[in-house]
Amino acid sequence: VITKIKARQILDSRGIPTVEVDLFTNKGMFRASVPSGDTTGMYEAVDLRDGDKGTFLGNSVTRAVKNINEKISEALIGMDPTLQPQIDHAMIDLDKTEKKGELGANAILAVSIAACKAGAAEKEVPLYKHIADISGETNLTLPVPAFTLISGGKHAGNHLAIQEIMILPVGASRFEEALQMGSETYHHLKAVITEKYGAHECNVGEDGGFAPNISSWKEGLDLLKEAIGRTGYNDRIKIAIDVAASDFCIGTKYDLEKKVPNKSGQNFKSAEDMIEMYKELCSEYPVVSIEDPFDKEDWEHVKHFSSLGICQVVGDDLLMSNPKRIQRAIQESSCNALLLKVNQIGTVTEAIEVVRQAKEANMGVVTSHRCGETEDSFISDLSVGLATGQIKAGAPCRGERLAKYNQSSLSNVSNM
Ligand code: PGA
Ligand code: ZN
């Protein structure tokens, strides 16, 4: 049974406070911490911050920590950690608000994850196996990783409007091989950027992707194409893009030069122009997946673009891991894959439910990190246990990103 729960404030990969918790049972101590992102939409569960501008610029999480140490702890002590739905529902009931604003989704999720780890230990099974048991998933697979190699948008200080250009080592036969392919491409890309622009252009963005001061997507894709060419992997590596188009949507137009100083003002695109550009990218480069191609409220164009069937269309800002928005996407056949950000929903149980909802409608699922991460590798086990098939956890570089990829390598499904 759960004997003690003790939370504290730690700093995430950006140096911003977040919540960490130690949950104790007779089997030992189980630690979990939660990430946070740059986007915090209206439909996301609440990332509770103190808001005192004089402390950590308003970002401290001492209220969330206190909620764990007092209210949540009192409610959960004595519970069986293997009963994930009961634990999560006890916290949901205690919070009583739709978006977990009372206790904070950061407080609730930290405890939910720690309890899940304790549940696996109680059963003496690997974490991914425990997650598979809770969800009823039997067809376990290791995910294809989406490595961020070029960063832009809100995640980097360069001129690139789009947020990420990623590689998918789809031709790898094992996860370790995918990781090797990602690492080799990353280092070849570093050499390509150094030769072309100089070593000072090899700085990285928040997810560890290189952030050379390019402003066009094609420039980024050409750099990547050259790097992939040098690896010799050729068509065993495909490309995915996270446009995060809401970041540079102005009214009904997209400002591709949003981050460019003294810009020409000529680069405003309509949604139709964007569709033409996506078609071109998918035919000229091995682009097989595009995330958030339009503004998060532009359901119509997402639907139209998906209907063309040229690539996987992932809903991140569009869906916000919110069951009502996923339902709408299913009904309207808009995007065809869900980006699962566990902290946007706030408990392991609800994350399992949205994955089930998406899969039942034949949507793909990409388990995702956030830009502000910790070294907690829970999402790796989650992606294996729920067989989401894809994981996006940043570059094959930086400790908080590698914590996930290295953990995925460890989950040896064939030994189950
Ligand atoms: P975020 O970015 O964590 O800043 O929201 C991740 C993503 O857009 O996929
Ligand atoms: Zn995204």
Ligand 2: centre distance to CA 291 (Å)? 6
The pLDDT of 171-191, averaged and rounded, is 97
State the distance between the two ends of the chain, measured CA to CA, in whole angstroms: 26
In short, whether 368's Cβ falls inside 6 Å of ligand 1 is yes
Q: Please, what is the average pLDDT of the chain?
A: 96
The pLDDT of 353-380, averaged and rounded, is 98
| pTM across the whole model | 0.97
The pLDDT of 254-268, averaged and rounded, is 86
- Per-residue confidence band for 177, with pLDDT thresholds at 50, 70 and 90: very high
Q: Tokens standing for 32?
A: 């979990």
Catalogue the active-site residues: 207, 341
Q: What is the pLDDT of residues 2-29, one digit of tens each?
A: 999 999 999 999 999 999 999 999 999 9
Mutate to test the pocket of ligand 1, among 163, 368, 371, 392 (most ligand atoms within 8 A of CB): 371
Q: Is 272 exposed, middle or buried (0-12, 13-18, 19+ CB in 10 A)?
A: exposed
Reported ipTM: 0.98
Least confident of 8-22, 137-151, 261-275: 261-275
Q: How far apart are CA 380 and CA 410, in angstroms?
A: 10
Closest ligand to 394 CA?
1
Look at residue 415 in the predicted model and tell me its pLDDT.
42
Ligand 1: centre distance to CA 75 (Å)? 32
Kindly tell me if the per-residue pLDDT of 410 is higher than 80: no
In short, whether 316's Cβ falls inside 6 Å of ligand 1 is yes
Ligand 2: centre distance to CA 367 (Å)? 11
In short, whether 353's Cβ falls inside 6 Å of ligand 1 is no
Mutate to test the pocket of ligand 1, among 165, 316, 318, 365 (most ligand atoms within 8 A of CB): 316
- Per-residue confidence band for 121, with pLDDT thresholds at 50, 70 and 90: very high
Give the residue whose CA is nearest to atom 7 of ligand 1.
Answer: 370
Look at residue 4 in the predicted model and tell me its pLDDT.
98
Kindly tell me if the per-residue pLDDT of 252 is higher than 70: yes
Q: Tokens standing for 317?
A: 């800002």
Look at residue 416 in the predicted model and tell me its pLDDT.
41
Look at residue 309 in the predicted model and tell me its pLDDT.
97
Q: What is the pLDDT of residues 275-311, one digit of tens each?
A: 999 999 999 999 999 999 999 999 999 999 999 999 9
- Per-residue confidence band for 174, with pLDDT thresholds at 50, 70 and 90: very high
Provide φ and ψ at 315, rounded to 5°: -100, 110
Q: How far apart are CA 150 and CA 241, in angstroms?
A: 10
Look at residue 53 in the predicted model and tell me its pLDDT.
96
Look at residue 356 in the predicted model and tell me its pLDDT.
98
Q: How far apart are CA 263 and CA 243, in angstroms?
A: 20
Kindly tell me if the per-residue pLDDT of 227 is higher than 70: yes
Kindly tell me if the per-residue pLDDT of 413 is higher than 60: no
In short, whether 246's Cβ falls inside 6 Å of ligand 1 is no
Q: Tokens standing for 118?
A: 């304790």
- Indicate the angle between helix axes 348-360 and 323-331, nearest 10 degrees: 0
